Amino acid sequence: MKNYDIIVLGGGPGGYVAAIKAAQLKQKVALIEKEVVGGICLNHGCIPTKAILKSAKTYDLFKHADKYGITVDPAVIGFDLDKIVDRKDDVVKKLTGGVALLLKKNGVDVYNGYGEVVSPTEVKVNDETLTTKNLIIATGGTAIVPPIPGAKEAYEKGFAVTSRELLQVRKAPKKLVIVGGGVIGVEFATIFKSLGTEVTIVEMAKTIITPMDDEVITAYTKSLTKDGVKILTEAAVKKIGTDEVTYEKDGKQETIKTDLVLIAVGIGPNTGAVSKLGLEMKGRGIKVDKHMGTSIKGVYAIGDVTGEHMLAHVASAEGVIAIENILGEEKSIDYNQIPAAIYGHPEIAMVGLTEREAKAQGLKYTVTKFPLAGNGKALADGETEGFIKMIKGSELDEILGAHIYAYNAVDMIGEIGLAMKLESTNYEVSETIHAHPSLSEIIMEASMDKPIHI
């Protein structure tokens, strides 16, 4: 029987980061993963979708090359989905291989198999029982197939898929119905619409991408609609057949014929491996305190299994926090400073509060917006759709929230996150000299009381 200081159950972006961090701090660590290290993010989510999105955006750029003065024969422009998927697989293989190497170099013992927690100090894997002083549960989540009539049968037959299966599709469907207008749904809508598929999104809520700021939602909805994506909000799917989807909207039932259905209604926490512990739950996820501790001393939970902030970068941050707290620190995360992103075209990135949330909390604030059309770099790049919106505290001039709807938005949001972490005022950000021409100048402009270039 092997003994460890820390056993990490699950090798996703939360688990493998926690394992490496613990090993760097001289702990004896075991990581248990039933599939390939990297979890959903590296293997079936964040990374593979971005690789395919890059191909879709490149194809779209070629189709509009004439606006940059480049002549391309429309007859020779095309795409090979086989090669796009092969490229995606190659990117994933390089990254997961890199993670495996990092674990090895840091001295983490990796067990490939299904880990079942027998007690707070014992985990069984591959007919071997490992013991530990501390346990970190990082088992992630699985795409939900909702109890819609016909959904389970359609999924079993391959007519309905989750994002995991759709990433392996090598022939673009002529028609695609997406059930769910969240991040996953709209990103796949962007991909397949670029590849010529007729895409329909069916969403129960009043809007798509509901966590985002209302002005961003409105702009993004218009953009998708302009690109040809049909968006049905306040519509409930009632049945999934063998070649069609039935939904109800405004009291009337309608049927859409389709070649494929993407079910993108959310992720459910994977808690089966720890069912014997009797942990206190919060909804479907494991309840944790601000130190990532569970209801059992020495047992921690991070990432999607908590059912809270289901983002890869949150899981990684929580993994580091858990390790530091195991070793005697008093660390926690300010979830208000966690960025969120949607990788469409343009991209969306946000950090902090939406205006809707600031208003609901009764905060005194002002709003400054700056359009990409006023930015020289955006004009030169031919990417003028979008804006930045800053929500500013009226009394202390603090950054309450920031919302960027623009190409490369995700790469810029980190600057605002850092400013919030350092408790910088909007004035201090506006006084920070930005390179010219650069897209990041929109942050400087929006941080001013009155932007210069509008």
Quote the CA–CA distance of 370 and 271 in Å, as a whole number.
Answer: 45
Q: Which residue ranges make up the annotated binding site?
A: 50, 115, 180-187, 203, 266, 304, 310-313
Give the contacts of 349 (CB within 8 A, at least 6 positions apart).
Answer: 339, 340, 341, 342, 403, 404, 409, 410, 412, 413
Domain positions in the chain are 2-142+268-333, 151-265, 338-447
Per-residue tokens: 299: 């047992």
Quote the CA–CA distance of 251 and 400 in Å, as a whole number.
Answer: 40
Give the domain 2-142+268-333 fold.
FAD/NAD(P)-binding domain (3.50.50)
Quote the CA–CA distance of 430 and 443 in Å, as a whole number.
Answer: 8
Quote the CA–CA distance of 187 and 53 in Å, as a whole number.
Answer: 8
Q: Which of 309, 345, 403, 436 is catalytic?
A: 436
Give the domain 151-265 fold.
FAD/NAD(P)-binding domain (3.50.50)
The dihedral sign for the CA sequence 262, 266, 269, 272: negative
- CATH topology identical between 2-142+268-333 and 151-265: yes
432: left (phi over 0), alpha (psi -120 to 50) or beta: beta
The torsion of the CA quartet 243, 246, 247, 248, rounded to 10 degrees, works out to 160
CATH number of 338-447: 3.30.390.30
H helices within 196-239, ranges in order?
A: 214-226
pTM assigned to the model = 0.95
Quote the CA–CA distance of 411 and 246 in Å, as a whole number.
Answer: 39
pLDDT in tens, the chain (454 residues): 899 999 999 999 999 999 999 999 999 999 999 999 999 899 999 999 999 999 999 999 999 999 999 999 888 899 999 999 999 999 999 999 999 999 999 999 999 999 999 999 999 999 999 999 999 999 999 999 999 999 999 999 999 999 999 999 999 999 999 999 999 999 999 999 999 999 999 999 999 999 999 999 999 999 999 999 999 999 999 999 999 999 999 999 999 999 999 999 999 999 999 999 999 999 999 999 999 999 999 999 999 999 999 999 999 999 999 999 999 999 999 999 999 999 999 999 999 999 999 999 999 999 999 999 999 999 999 999 999 999 999 999 999 999 999 999 999 999 999 999 999 999 999 999 999 999 999 999 999 999 999 8
H helices within 277-375, ranges in order?
A: 312-326, 355-360
Residues 175 and 149 sit within 8 Å (Cβ to Cβ): no
Q: Which residue ranges make up the annotated binding site for FAD?
A: 50, 115, 304, 310-313
> Is 403 among the catalytic positions?
no
